[in-house]
Amino acid sequence: MLKNYFKIAIAVFKRRKFFTFISLFGISFTLTILIVLTAFIDKVINDNYPDRKRDRSLYVNKMTERGDQSYNGEALSFYFLDHYVRRLKTPVKLAVSSDYRGTNTYVNNKKISISYKYTNADYWDVTEYDFLEGKPFTKQQIANAERVAVISADIKRAYFGDVPSVVGKYIEADNVQYRVCGVVKNVPVTLYMLYSDIYLPYTVSKTDYSSNTGYRGGYYGILLAASSADVPKMKKEFEQMVKKLPMSSKEYNKIYCPAETFIPAYLNTGNEDKSGLVYALTAIAIFVLLVMLLPTLNLININITRIMERSSEIGVRKAFGASSQTLVYQFIVENIILTILGCLIGIILSLIVLKVLNNASLIPNLELTLNFTVLSVGLLTCLIFGLLSGVYPAWRMSRLNVVDALKAQ
């Protein structure tokens, strides 16, 4: 039966080449967009380099205070993390790092844009950067405010060229010379809490990190529990600490500073009433709907025309024993065959687009890949697409009266 459906499907596709082209183009183009989107989301959410201990980490990246007339929300101060968060008992380590800042440097009269970030020593223990050479700076070096730096592989190549080792050499950033102590694998810019070209000890910061004793500043924290089982306890302890915090000003009456697992923290809006996760899912759903709606409607239209052209065949099949249900099944199978063909083209197109995007470096260090998750989402989308665009035309066709269908030829 399936072989027969397959034969007729291929024959119909060949007969109406332009319709087939339009259908395949619609399906493959839609799938390409969705696969690229999925690859992007998958990279941001599932790629756990360099924070490989996500299962036992909580991220703190925003503090908001609000009153009846006022609102203030931004990243945290070094003081808040060092003074309040460090005193918690459950975390075994606390990684502190600043947001990344940009500067320019010059090599052989060539301008290079560099981002830099300040960290503490625990940052290197909480995260697990892949050191291509050298090692991170130590507590002692931080205490001594030594001008040392860990740099990314990309900036090593851009600044020093293709040399085997740069540990011990000097790199200039923000008009200061830093001695390179380590080189790490690149981190994509989408991981804004961890991305940088150069990592520096927080003690060499030009702005006095210790003078700001308010809650807010330009720092993030990652709290590491001894085990994943301790994470709820760590979260609770953090929340209790936040509850006890006095308001920084009389104009505020509410304080919001969550310690969250990676994804909620990544999407933190700074407002407890507006979940970033809900916003992100809604935005993705609307985007997917819009991307899929047009080709689906187009395919439904083409399918109706195609099927109605075949009313004589429908009449014959019904006369010789096909029930309406069997015919619905046949046309859905045919549509799924078309969709699968479109999917195969879509996957090839996606591989090309991903390669072009990766080579173009539109987003620094973001290496998009077509892995099992991305492919599964793509294939599932195809199946839904095939069903959606096949069911309605098949249902309409199955209602055709046999005598009318036979007369149509």
Query: Which positions touch another protein (CB under 8 A)?
Result: 1, 3-4, 7-8, 11-12, 15, 312-313, 315-326, 401-403, 406, 409
Rank residues 325 and 359 by Cβ distance to another protein and give the closer one: 325
- Shortest Cβ 308–another protein spacing (Å): 16
Shortest distance, position 386 Cβ to another protein, whole Å: 20
Residue 172: strand, helix, or coil = strand
**DSSP string for 285-309:** HHHHHHHHHHHHHHHHHHHHHHHHH
Q: How far apart are CA 301 and CA 308, in angstroms?
A: 11
64 or 398: CB nearest another protein: 398
Residue with tokens 């993705």: 284
Q: For another protein, give the closer residue by CB, 1 or 360.
A: 1
Count CA within 13 A, CB hemisphere, residue 55.
3
Amino acid identity of residue 382, one-letter, is C
- Give least dist CB 394 to another protein, A: 15
Residue closer to another protein, measured from CB, 146 or 313: 313
Which of 17/250 has CB closer to another protein? Answer: 17
Considering only CA atoms, which of 79, 60, 67, 66 is closest in space to residue 217? 79
Cβ closest to another protein, residue 15 vs residue 139: 15
SS3 271: coil
Q: Least separation, in Å, of the C-beta of 401 and another protein?
A: 8
Start-to-end Cα distance in the chain: 25
Q: How far is the CB of 333 from another protein (least distance, A)?
A: 13
C-alpha to C-alpha distance for 356 and 378, rounded to whole angstroms: 19
Amino acid found at 279:
Y
- Both structure tokens of 403: 């005598």
Are 298 and 21 in contact, with CB atoms under 8 Å apart?
Answer: no
Smallest separation (angstroms) from another protein to the CB of 153: 57
